Structure formats: C-alpha cells, structure tokens
Amino acid sequence: MNKQNISSMKQKKVIQCILITMFSVFFVLSGCKSNSEIKSQERIPTTSNEEIVHRTENKQSVIETPKDDAVSKLIKEEDILVEVNHAIQEKFVSISEAKYHVGEPQHLANGDYTKDGILYMLFSVPYTLYEYDGSPREIEYDVFVETDTFEVYEATYKTESGEALINDRFTRESIMTLEEMYRIDFEEKIQFLEVSGYAYAVSPNEEKIVYEDFDGVIRLWQGSNLDEQSVSIGDVVSNFVWSSDSNSLLIDQGTSPLRNGTIITWSENEMSNYELSYVGKLYFSPESSMIAGMKISDKENKYKEGFDIGNCLDMVVLNLKTGEETTLYQGEPDDSFEYSVDGWMDNQRIRADKIEILNDENTVVETFPIK
C-alpha cells in the first residue's frame, strides 16, 4: 500500500469519529429538558375538588368551596319543622284548654304537597286522654300546616286511595268527635264513684256530678272526662247542694257552726265562683237565681257572751247572676233574738225562724220579702 492510500484512509476515520460524536450530542440534547421547563410544569394548577391555598409571605387565605344546594335545602327544612312543631302544639293546647297531653308531632312527609306555590306539611299529632277510671288512652289526629303562615288545617282522607286532603281550619269543633268517642255513660261514672268510695252528688238533671277524690280535690264531671274540671277549696267538705236547675252548686265546708261555702254557677258554658261565710245552712231560691242564709257581722251581741259565735247575724241574699248581695235584716248588739233562714216561700219571699237567744225554745216563723 502506498503512502497516498494510507493518508486517505486516516481522513475517512477522522470524519467518521466526528460524525458519531455530533450525533451522540444531538441525541442527548433532544431527550432531556431544562430545569426551567421542569419547574414551569410543576407550577401549572390542576383542577380538583380540594381547597386552593394562596400563600403570601406572612399569611395564608383559604378559598372555601360553596355548600351543596342539597345541604342548604336540608337546613331550611329543619328550621321549618321546628316552627311547624311549635305551631301545632300551641294550637292543640289552646283549643283543648290543656285538657290533653300533646306529644311530639310526627311528620308524614309522603303526604306533603304544594298548592298555589305554598308547601303544606302533613303531621300526625299524638294525644293522651284519660278515661273515667284514670287509665290513659293514646290516640292520634292528623293535620296539615301551611308553612307560610303556620296555620293548622284538618286532614281528611279519600276512601278509595287514602290520599290526604286539606279540610277546614283546625278549631275546637275539630276535636268534638274525639270527645264523643270518650263520652262515658252516666251510670258507668256512678258505678266507678261507688266502687272507689268517693263522696259525690248528682245534679237534678243527671248531667253533672260533683265528687271529692282521696286527695281532697273537688272534681266536676259533665258527661265527659274531657270536660271534667277541678276546684280548689281550703276546708273540709261537709256537703254538696245542687240548685233545682242544675246550674249552681254549693260546696259546704267546715266542722263548726261557722261555715264556709264555695258557690259555683254555670252560664253559657262559663263557670263563676263565689265565696261566702255563714252560719247554719244556705238555701237556693226555687228558680235557682238566688241563695239565702245568715252571715256573721262585725258587731258583737251582748246576749251571746260565752257563745261559740258571739257576733250578730245578718240575713242576706246573694244574686247568682249579678253577684250582688242584699241584706234583708241586720242584727244589732241589743237584739235579744236572732234569725235562722229555713227556706223559701216562693221566689220573692224567705221563711225564717225568729229565735230568742237565751231561750231557743221560744221560736216564731216570719217571712221576709226580697227587696
């Protein structure tokens, strides 16, 4: 091989080495990224449900994601339920005059519906009623409540489908049917009182019964345990006396000649009470509008020294319609006698015994007209 050929072969090898080196450098550069490109990619925000935090040098603020609409709706419904429950219980206690025990209303959500853009919610209201023997009876009453004004309405049901419908406004008349359901027989009440050993008295029309239970509470029964009322007195009950029209009752109290009386009258479903201190007995007039008796005065009688009651006695008549008290005779300190009412001659005249204080066998009957 001559020198010229050897020189040519060396040049070709140099060129091949240069080309291989350049190709390797290009391949490395094209397969790598700069640090700046990597950092740039790390700063690109990604979409997620996590909270996004913005930091400054001294403080951090958090952007909260908005509450879900379903959660807001649930909170609103809970607030409405609280208001509705309060409205129902207030209404029931008011119209039933607190005679019932009203439980927690139960929401019957399947019966709710909207009318004219207003939501009406269906509720079942539990009651506890007490029968004549004191046993509790649980019942329920369904009502609708308008969520705009919280007005309470009766709920009725379709016979075929059982669908609940809004009826009239809920009033006292709405639960009259419940009272009829628990209206017990007159004879059943008498039987219960007899078995229990309670002292009682039946009104002449056999529609009312007054009795004293073992706790000393006076109870007035008017054909239904739901209408039973209680009366507070401050003395021992001696006797019950009804007026002839059954609209007035005297609860005679005390164990001495000096008596205390509670007089109860009924007029157009309203009950009035009168308190009266007296000696002896009180008598209702034949038509029951008045009651008469002897009342103790503040004056002392000079002939009654050492007597249990040394005061003078006044003959009085109480008008049960007006509450007005009229004195027919006023006892005086020098009177050697005193009167004792013995009943009525008629609606305008009272019959009374005139008794000598120091000789009670000397008695004269006199008549006093009503002034």
Domain locations along the chain: 70-181, 183-232, 238-261+272-369
Q: Report pLDDT for 21.
A: 55
Residue 336 φ/ψ, nearest 5 degrees = -90, 5
Q: Report pLDDT for 278.
A: 93
Neighbours of 327 (CB within 10 A): 13
Per-residue pLDDT of 266-293, as tens digits, reads 876 677 889 889 999 999 999 999 999 9
- Whole-model pTM: value is 0.54
Query: Residue ranges of the chain with pLDDT lower than 70?
Result: 1-77, 96-100, 129-136, 159, 175-184, 223-227, 268-269
Per-residue pLDDT of 296-329, as tens digits, reads 999 999 999 999 899 999 999 999 999 999 999 9
Q: Report pLDDT for 349.
A: 96
138 alpha-carbon distance from chain centroid:
16
Q: Report pLDDT for 248.
A: 95
For the sheet with 359-369, list strands across it: 337-346, 349-356, 359-369
